[in-house]
Amino acid sequence: MDILNSADPAGLARFLLKPDTQLLAFSDIQFLAPIDLQEVWAAGVTYKRSQVARMEESAAAASHYDKVYTADRPELFFKATPNRVSGPGQPLRVRSDSQWCVPEPEFTLVISKDARIVGYTIGNDMSARDIEGENPLYLPQAKFYKQCAGLGPCVLLADGPLNPDLIDIQLEIRRNGQIASADGTKLSQMKRTPEELVAWLFRENELPNGAFLMTGTGVVPEDNFTLENGDEVSITITGIGRLTNPIVKDRAT
């Protein structure tokens, strides 16, 4: 937290890293979600692909999703508290009352308490599409539940301008060791800028511990695809790394 709220997080990190620091092998490290006390927020319908998918899943609310894509005000919603976040290798959950749940790979902003973008990480916004599609007012239930968000494997500190054209976002879902779904996009396909989303998030809002902001998805699995218990979801983003999580689903009660 001290690094993220400093005037120059990247510079402070370089200062603290001694030249003779011994590096550890990844195999010797257990990565945790890179979150402390921050809230996790998310933006929706920031990519054309997401707009189309939302309009298809909910015919009654299609016009709302169409309008929010082009409106000045973005869709922002509360996604998770730290205890609902899973780190690398930790399970993410499909709601037991959902029959159509997908991962949403998202470039995620790490924001200081004074609204500065201080870093980036990978986010997985787990979404029950059937619940949201039934009625848009069910969005909180489709998005916010135990083990509903993945973050990791690290925070890439912001150090200079961001070039969206060079940032690839890749999703791979494996089932029984085989690829069940895979797709990708570029950050440059996002309609809104990170700075724009942060400005809206902090409008009439105080975040004393800072926040993580998932910026929306441009990768949506096929309409006939849903996650199953035992699946493995991997999200890779240029410069950050790969976030992999197993999927769990309890029996409906």
pLDDT confidence of residue 90: 98
Task: State the CATH class of domain 35-249.
Answer: alpha beta
Domain ranges, ordered by start, for the chain: 35-249
pLDDT confidence of residue 191: 94
Structure tokens at 162: 């961001």
What ranges in 81-147 are assigned the alpha helix state H? 129-134, 139-143
With beta carbons less than 8 A apart as the criterion, state whether 121 and 149 touch: no
pLDDT tens series, the chain, 253 aa? 578 889 999 988 888 887 788 888 888 888 999 999 999 999 999 987 666 665 555 555 556 677 888 899 999 999 999 999 999 999 999 999 999 999 999 999 999 999 999 999 999 999 999 999 898 899 999 999 999 999 999 999 999 999 999 999 999 999 999 999 999 999 999 999 999 999 999 999 999 999 999 999 999 999 899 999 999 999 999 999 999 999 999 876 5
pLDDT confidence of residue 14: 86
Structure tokens at 165: 């054209």
Structure tokens at 100: 């159509």
pLDDT confidence of residue 60: 53
Kindly report whether the peptide bond that precedes residue 105 is cis, defined as omega within 30 degrees of 0. no
pLDDT confidence of residue 52: 61
Question: Which three-class secondary structure state does DSSP give residue 221?
Answer: coil
pLDDT confidence of residue 15: 85
